[in-house]
Amino acid sequence: MTHVIGVDLGGTKTAAGVVSPAGVVLMSETIPTLNRGGGEAILDATSALIAGLVERAADAGHTVSGVGVGSAGVIDAVAGTVVSATDAIRSWAGTALVAGLSARLGLGVRAVNDVHAHALGEAWLGAAAGSSSSLMVAFGTGVGGSFVLDGAPVLGHRFVGGHVGHFASPYATFDGVPLACVCGAAGHVEAIASGPAIHESYLRLGGSVLDAADTRGVFALAAPDSSAGEATASTLAAAQAVELGAAAAGQAVGGLINILDPETVVVSGGLADAGDPWWKPMEIALRRELLSPLLSVPVVRATLGNSAAIVGAAKLVLQ
Amino acid sequence: MTHVIGVDLGGTKTAAGVVSPAGVVLMSETIPTLNRGGGEAILDATSALIAGLVERAADAGHTVSGVGVGSAGVIDAVAGTVVSATDAIRSWAGTALVAGLSARLGLGVRAVNDVHAHALGEAWLGAAAGSSSSLMVAFGTGVGGSFVLDGAPVLGHRFVGGHVGHFASPYATFDGVPLACVCGAAGHVEAIASGPAIHESYLRLGGSVLDAADTRGVFALAAPDSSAGEATASTLAAAQAVELGAAAAGQAVGGLINILDPETVVVSGGLADAGDPWWKPMEIALRRELLSPLLSVPVVRATLGNSAAIVGAAKLVLQ
């Protein structure tokens, strides 16, 4: 069998890899995404990245038969176009992603949203390998996810499925007012459980920006070994902000499990990698929500790391 | 083509109908469910009900080729057994539903949960007919739902999928304490948005049980024409309780739309039939949650009424 190229096209960088039929990433390369250059410039740069990998694969004796792309934005997986995208990638919306790459490369191309690709990767070869259904939820700069059923991410009728950061959370409120969400609504899970939201909670709770300039700083203050020192307003606020974000995350994922009943639940993203101070309160809050037939659902950390979306995107053209 | 029998087996009554290949219910009958009699007694009574209909169908010149059942409880659709059920039907859990009916009738039988059957009926021939995916959410004695994708309800790995009443609602709290939910957890959508929950809200908000003994009474007090009289503590509490339940329902469904992106959303159940005093605040709250690509999602009332589960159950054996 021939190999394929998997591409993870994000707001700041684009990674691509040569993927074997078994899902092994043999070689990979990363370039900055030309996020101010517009759709055509991004297609030019991405196809050059892919062409380079096709050549390297050929040198190693592998033929490349197709390209799978997981891209930021809402991706129409049927038309192969970018339906909408945030300002993180200027003029990405409206781009004929599949046709544009296919014309440049002379290869078959398929594309989905990057979170859908990420979930498919974990479902195929990562933390949910072997499960007939899985729910992947990622907590990082944003909160996103995807439900993978029988080997395919449930894309949604308008390809928006999996926006699990955008439903109401009882935690997403301060002084009785729902917190503004990046989507324009208020009181959503993402407004309290994302990485940036944890930093905002920290500041609201009386933490000083001098002690923690960003989310990483908040986690450093909240770490068990830093509590050996004196408790300050900032260390207390940091511990509270992390607990709050983690509890909101767990409560949200627990509710999603009751709704979807996936065989396996995969929690991913930068916050899931932050260790026990986040994971423990997250899992306690999650388990508290579950209906009794769901109490034994496995909730596991993602295992593929940065290659999940590359592997998942590759799977699109390997089936 | 031959006809089939569709059965809607609920906690208080069991309805069955002869269903044509086109989904027309030609004749139907209803019996009380022997909910204190145990599994075998229910199977005896249900198979007698079905056998009677098979005979009536034969008299009308129709052969019956199979039986589809939508039953209360968690139904293992592969094994054909009742995994668990509430006390509403004593000793229903553990019953070999499909094997028991099949042995008694000599016909092929398939079974799913009644809410799954209900959603499949609406997706096939009701309010979501023609949609490739739909989300049905029912607000009544409880809150339940099902996501139907490509003509099949998403049952869940443990057949628990669609428990959309059991995720956190910011509305499901009073004096800062999350309201107890029938599932054993607290703060869930069902604890504020179900029919009984609206009556409980009414009492908590200062309404008198003498003015409204149940949910129906609360709606009567809250009806626009009743506000022609003097506003009393009870009429104010009734209006507030209905608004609260409706807003919680709409917020929940809006969040589910962001998560699942169904082509069509069907709202069903007794509360959806209560008219504008519930529907209007429900829909306003729903629309407030939606991500922009989803703003045009159709949200419609169920159309099949009591026959939805019969038709959906029939579909199980018509495909």
A9-22, pLDDT tens digit by residue? 999 999 999 999 99
- In the stretch 45-84 of chain A, residues with CB closer than 8 A to chain B read 74, 83-84
**B76 vs A contacts (CB less than 8 Å):** none
Q: How confident is the model at residue A52 (pLDDT cuts 50, 70, 90)?
A: very high
Gap between the Cα atoms of A104 and B135, Å rounded: 40
**Beta bridge partners of residue B180, listed in sequence order:** B186
Q: Scanning every residue of chain B, which has its alpha carbon at the shortest distance from the alpha carbon of A251?
A: B168
Gap between the Cα atoms of B119 and B137, Å rounded: 8
**A169 vs B contacts (CB less than 8 Å):** 168, 170
Gap between the Cα atoms of A54 and A29, Å rounded: 12
Q: Does B291 touch chain A (CB under 8 A)?
A: yes
pLDDT for residue B230: 78
Tokens 């074997």 sit on residue = A20
Tokens 């309010």 sit on residue = B127
Q: Does B183 touch chain A (CB under 8 A)?
A: yes
Say whether A60 sits in a helix, a strand or coil: coil
Q: Which regions of chain B are under pLDDT 70?
A: 1, 226-228, 319
B163–A259 C-beta distance less than 8 A: yes
For testing the chain B interface, which of A259, A288, A292 should be mutated: the one with the most B CBs within 10 Å? A259
Q: Which residue blocks in A25-153 are alpha helix, DSSP H?
A: 39-59, 97-105, 114-125
A288–B157 C-beta distance less than 8 A: no
B288–A259 C-beta distance less than 8 A: no
Number of independent structural domains in chain A: 2
Query: Over the stretch A237-265, which tens digit does the pLDDT of each residue have?
Result: 999 999 999 999 999 999 999 999 999 99
User: What's B27's domain CATH number?
Assistant: 3.30.420.40
pLDDT for residue A226: 58
Q: How confident is the model at residue A223 (pLDDT cuts 50, 70, 90)?
A: confident
pLDDT for residue B6: 98
pLDDT for residue B223: 87
- In the stretch 214-233 of chain B, residues with CB closer than 8 A to chain A read none
Q: Do B106 and B165 reside in the same domain of the chain?
A: no
The stretch A65-80 carries a mean pLDDT of 97
- Pairing status of strand B74-76 against strand B64-71: unpaired
* ipTM value for the complex: 0.96
Q: Do A253 and A198 reside in the same domain of the chain?
A: yes
Q: Do A162 and A288 reside in the same domain of the chain?
A: yes
**B263 vs A contacts (CB less than 8 Å):** 157
Q: Do B63 and B176 reside in the same domain of the chain?
A: no
Q: Do A120 and A141 reside in the same domain of the chain?
A: no
Q: Do B312 and B247 reside in the same domain of the chain?
A: no
Q: Do B101 and B36 reside in the same domain of the chain?
A: yes
Q: Do B85 and B204 reside in the same domain of the chain?
A: no
Q: Do A84 and A169 reside in the same domain of the chain?
A: no
Residues of chain A with pLDDT > 90: what percent?
95
Residues of chain A with pLDDT > 70: what percent?
98
Gap between the Cα atoms of B87 and A246, Å rounded: 35
> A35-44, A306-315, B220-229: which has the minimum mean pLDDT?
B220-229
**Beta bridge partners of residue A67, listed in sequence order:** A5, A109
Tallying the residues shown for chain B, one arrives at 319
Gap between the Cα atoms of A224 and A191, Å rounded: 25
List of residues 6+ apart from B248 with CB closer than 8 A: B169, B171, B172, B189, B192, B193, B285
Of B166, B187, B290, the CB nearest to A258: B166
Q: Do B235 and B286 reside in the same domain of the chain?
A: yes
Q: Do B273 and B311 reside in the same domain of the chain?
A: no
pLDDT for residue B228: 62
| pLDDT of residue A105 exceeding 90 | yes
Q: How confident is the model at residue A228 (pLDDT cuts 50, 70, 90)?
A: low
Q: Does B86 touch chain A (CB under 8 A)?
A: no
Sheet-wide strand order for A264-268: A152-153, A143-149, A133-139, A264-268, A299-301
User: What domain range is B192 assigned to?
Assistant: 133-303
Q: Do A88 and A194 reside in the same domain of the chain?
A: no
pLDDT for residue B171: 98
